Every structure is written in C-alpha cells, then in structure tokens.
Amino acid sequence: MNFKDERNYQKLLETLENLQLSEENQKLAEEYLDMTAPENRELLQKARRQDLSQLDRNKVGKCRDYMGHLRKRGRTEELSRFVRFVAAVSFHRLLCVYSLRVEHGFR
C-alpha cells in the first residue's frame, strides 16, 4: 500500500469510528469497503440497523468531509460503496440517501 492509499485508508477508519458502528458492523464495513476486493453486496444484508440520528454534528460533519474527499478525488466507486453501506446500516435510510444525493450529487 502506498502513502496515498494508506492516507485514504486512515480517513476511512476515522470516518467509520465517527459513525460509532457496532463491532459487527465495523468489521462488515471494513470488509465491504476494501477496494482491493470485488464488491460483495451480500455483506450489506448482514449489516445490523443502527440509529445514526444521535450522532453529534461534528461526527456527521467529518463523515460529510470524507464523502467530499472521495468525490473531489474522483473515487466514485469508493463513494458509492460508502453510501450503500451507510444506507444499509441506518434506520433513517431514506433520509440518509436523500441527504447524500443532495449534498454530493450521488445518483
């Protein structure tokens, strides 16, 4: 892994930490979001729903920053996987997906 990839991986881990995922969801996220492996959407079905609405503004802001980081660098596949995972985990899935589409132009 080169320095750039290591930096992106660290940003991902920080973002997942900000989401305060359960241990099980954290492991699934790391596996699903591993861009060296082919996408495995079956992992999304294993995710357990969590209420992400209680995250403080700072943590939500850091997640938005991460998505902006990916988009700015043209990492659309990584951004798409991240959005799909958050939508699979969140109880507020429709609101989450709508917010991501509006703020980041995700389709």
Enter the DSSP assignment of 90.
Answer: B
Task: Give the Cα separation of 25 and 22 in Å (integer).
Answer: 5
Give me Rg for the CA atoms of the chain: 13
pLDDT per residue as tens digits for the range 72-86: 999 999 999 998 999
Phi and psi at 92, nearest 5°, equal -95, 50
DSSP 8-state code for residue 50? B
- Give the C-alpha distances (Å, rounded to integers) separating 23 from 31, 57, 72: 13, 22, 30
Span 4-63, pLDDT tens digits: 778 888 999 999 999 999 999 999 999 999 999 999 999 999 999 998 888 888 888 888
* pTM listed for this prediction: 0.83
